[in-house]
A and B are shown apart, each in its own frame.
Chain A
Amino acid sequence: MTEIIIMILSGVGAITILLASIGMLRMPDLYLRLSVTTKAATLGVGLILVSAAFYFSNVGVTSRVLAIILFITITAPVSAQLIGRAAYLVKTKMWKHTIIDELDGMYDNNGTLHGTETSEPDANESKE
């Protein structure tokens, strides 16, 4: 019974990571690559760690697995958000089929981001 659970968990985890790496190749721009890879990799690593916990099945390994999963889920989205924001600030090109960009022209010269009122369209031209 435990063997079957371990097989399913680690198999699904490996397939998820494989799909994430295929997505890394196939996605057309940086934002889509980010949004495919970070989450799929988080889920895959989590599943493989859980299967390791089932395999060893003692308290020491299991608590370490839980701690690692907790910290991965806390830190991975933050780093993805920071990479995405930095990419937007240096004006990485978006895919040509991108249909809407409501963030366009919302940064002003001082680097503050406005929520409701729009600043002039090319205000972030001088941003470094």
Chain B
Amino acid sequence: MQKRFLLNVMLTLIWVALTGVFNYINLIIGFVISYFILWIISRNSEDRRYFTIAIKIVGFFFFFLWEMLRANWQVAYEVVTSNLHMKPGIVKIYLEAKTDLEITLLSNLISLTPGTLVIDVSDDKKVMYVHGMYLQDKEKFIDSIKMGLEKPLLNIMR
């Protein structure tokens, strides 16, 4: 997989060198073209994980951006309207992520969505304590983190 990625970057640089235009648009065009070339070349080989994972990463990026904007809108509404009708609290979330990298990425993502904040991770790395702003429905809150953030992240990492 790393080999495919490095090949992709190298082909992109060759494209940029041949066209002679060094800006971001041209870099992206070169990356997409060499991505398709590699995809066609390795159609019959069994190691095709790179191609699915690249699409998944782009999809997850836009999905996360959308989630972040939505949550920001909710918090902005809370700040502007006169009475506070939120129900904050700290809940316990059982982790499926195992390694340090997965837990770090997950807690970064949770902390980046407004209204949620990771307070601590237990020492045996099994439980994460999350401070949330809207806990009218605790199960729904936990589900939105587990289904909305943890599952897509683990899909990409594993």
**A80 CB contacts on chain B under 8 angstroms:** 111, 117
Q: Is the CB of B90 within 8 A of A100?
A: yes
Q: Is the CB of A35 within 8 A of B131?
A: yes
- Among residues of B, the one whose C-beta sits closest to the C-beta of A38 is B111
Minimum C-beta distance from A104 to chain B (A) = 8
Minimum C-beta distance from B149 to chain A (A) = 13
* Interface members, chain B 96-147 (any A CB < 8 Å): 107-108, 110-124, 126-127, 129, 131, 133, 135, 138
Q: Is the CB of B24 within 8 A of A23?
A: no
Q: Give how many A residues have a beta carbon under 8 Å from the other chain's beta carbons.
A: 46
- Contact A98/B133 with A43-B72, A112-B123 known, Cβ cut-off 8 Å: no
- Among residues of B, the one whose C-beta sits closest to the C-beta of A113 is B122
Docked pose: A31 CA to B111 CA in angstroms: 12
Interface size class on chain B is 35 or more
Q: Chain B, 44-82, contact with A by CB distance < 8 Å: what is the 0/1 string?
A: 000000000000000000000000110110011011100
**B126 CB contacts on chain A under 8 angstroms:** 115-116
**B113 CB contacts on chain A under 8 angstroms:** 39
**B121 CB contacts on chain A under 8 angstroms:** 113
**A102 CB contacts on chain B under 8 angstroms:** 89-92, 129
Q: Which of A38, A73, A81 contacts B107 (CB 8 A)?
A: A81
Q: Is the CB of B72 within 8 A of A114?
A: no
Q: Which of A77, A99, A103 contacts B87 (CB 8 A)?
A: A99
A interface secondary structure, majority:
helix
24 contacts between A and B (CB under 8 A): A28-B84, A31-B117, A31-B131, A32-B88, A32-B133, A35-B115, A35-B117, A35-B131, A35-B133, A38-B111, A39-B68, A40-B75, A40-B114, A43-B69, A80-B117, A81-B107, A81-B111, A99-B87, A99-B88, A101-B89, A103-B90, A114-B124, A115-B92, A115-B126
Chain B interface residues (CB < 8 Å from chain A): 22-24, 68-69, 71-72, 75-76, 78-80, 84, 86-92, 107-108, 110-124, 126-127, 129, 131, 133, 135, 138
Contacts A42-B112, A100-B135 known; list 19 others, CB within 8 Å: A16-B76, A26-B79, A26-B84, A29-B88, A36-B114, A59-B24, A62-B24, A77-B107, A77-B112, A78-B111, A81-B120, A97-B84, A97-B88, A98-B87, A98-B88, A99-B87, A99-B88, A101-B89, A112-B123
